[in-house]
Structure 1
Amino acid sequence: MPLAMPAGTGLTRARIAEHRPRVAVPAGHPLAGRPAVAPGPAAGGAAHVVDLDPPVHVPVHALWPAHTTCPGRDLFLSRTEAVGGSGSLAE
């Protein structure tokens, strides 16, 4: 899979998940009345959260300074690998 957006200079990254993005629109917006509203009203009814249609999934990346070590980060990445993320490093 090609990298659409490389990590900045001095950073390392790993793809940890893919999520379906949603958009929040003002309650009076025409999209707020769609029958395919995701969780529905938000911000005390001032906004509605709407699923994008057709459904798309975007990668979620973890970023950290290159050439560093962190046992907690290594544990986190190993657990995301177990639940479907790649957990693999990409520079």
Structure 2
Amino acid sequence: MDKKNNCVYILLCSDGTLYTGWTNDLEKRIKAHNAGKGAKYTKAHLPVELVYSEEYTTKSEAMKREYAIKQLTKAQKLELIENIGKKYAQVVEA
């Protein structure tokens, strides 16, 4: 992944919490979450797993998508993640 791309992501915390955000360095953001550093809502030392990401060419596009995802309920976010998984499975099977 090119670190200069703007990426919208959803992280699944080991306690079941979903975190949504955007970054231009996804690896660094995940490491910060896992270290208990970074955003004010990060729970210290609870590991996270990347469950959804999309790349955008501009920061404003990424921020708009992040805002849209943040407006979703947890159930809607889980459905989004599930649908992406189904699409990926179809591509792999083809």
> Which band: TM-score by shorter chain?
under 0.3
TM-score (norm: length of structure 1): 0.23
TM-score (norm: length of structure 2): 0.23
Greater helix fraction, Structure 1 or Structure 2? 2
Greater strand fraction, Structure 1 or Structure 2? 1
Higher RCO, 1 vs 2 (CA within 8 Å, ≥6 residues apart)? 1
